[in-house]
Amino acid sequence: MRLSEHVDLVGSGAAGFDLTDPLDCHVYLVRGERACALIDAGAGRGAEAILANVGDAVPEYLLLTHGHADHAGGAAGLARRLPGLRVLAGPPADRWIAAGDEAMISLDRARAGGTYPRDYVFPACPRAAPIADGTRVDLGGGVMLRAIATPGHADGHTCYLLETPGHRALFSGDCVFTGGRVSLQNLHDCRVPEYAASLARLAELDVDALFPGHHEISLNRARRHLTTARDLLARGLLPESTT
């Protein structure tokens, strides 16, 4: 599903548009002149459907926003089907994804709470490697992605800023959604002060589009979503939390 000149939506589950497996987050394909990249991988049960939506493109990069299973569970399956795929995630989440550490990615808690089926397991993706804050990924033709470390929702959470000629978009994972909503969860690495600092940092970005990990997508005038979250936190309040 084409969202903009350079971005397609290729996966989305029940907290989105029911394009692929119900457990999948939004999965995006970013096309440059020389290469293309996937943003997040879904939960892993919809890999064939995601790749069908990718079509003829052969992604060179898989940029993960964080280690939660609905975002990173599909990494191993995509890496198996795409032998040249470079799988990157913000540290320390890259190590948890590489090892399939279900406790550190909080899958044990989420599965016990019924968010995942009892038989769901997280496939380890040994190819996962770290991506540092500020790293640029050049896809060619002026299409550039930049990693922005945004801890708070989970350790290692990373947003990706897409810069193309005349247009900027933010892939925000589970850090911020439309309306300035956030995702605060009762998990070991959900940290409010870090979250507030990440949102303040994002609100400085002058973005046109917001491509979050779930729910609605904003194609224009998207900075308002980022400033709403920042302004609530500046008043000592917490933005509305969603899943």
> Which residues are at the interface with Zn ion (CB under 5 A)?
68, 174
Q: Check residue 135 and report its DSSP letter.
A: -
Of the pair 29, 105, the CB lying nearest Zn ion is at 105
Q: Smallest gap, in angstroms, from Cβ of residue 147 to Zn ion? A: 17
Of the pair 82, 199, the CB lying nearest Zn ion is at 199
Q: Smallest gap, in angstroms, from Cβ of residue 68 to Zn ion? A: 4
Q: Smallest gap, in angstroms, from Cβ of residue 214 to Zn ion? A: 9
Inter-residue contact 166 to 61 (CB < 8 Å): no
Q: Smallest gap, in angstroms, from Cβ of residue 154 to Zn ion? A: 6
Of the pair 91, 141, the CB lying nearest Zn ion is at 91
Of the pair 84, 114, the CB lying nearest Zn ion is at 114
Q: Smallest gap, in angstroms, from Cβ of residue 174 to Zn ion? A: 4
Q: Which phi and psi (to 5°) does residue 8 adopt?
A: -115, 150
Q: Estimate the crossing angle of helix 223-234 against helix 192-202, to 10 degrees.
A: 140
Q: Check residue 208 and report its DSSP letter.
A: S
Q: Is 129 exposed, middle or buried (0-12, 13-18, 19+ CB in 10 A)?
A: middle
Of the pair 82, 195, the CB lying nearest Zn ion is at 195
Measured distance CA(65)–CA(97) in Å, rounded = 12
- Beta bridge mates, 168: 163
- Beta bridge mates, 177: none
Inter-residue contact 50 to 42 (CB < 8 Å): yes
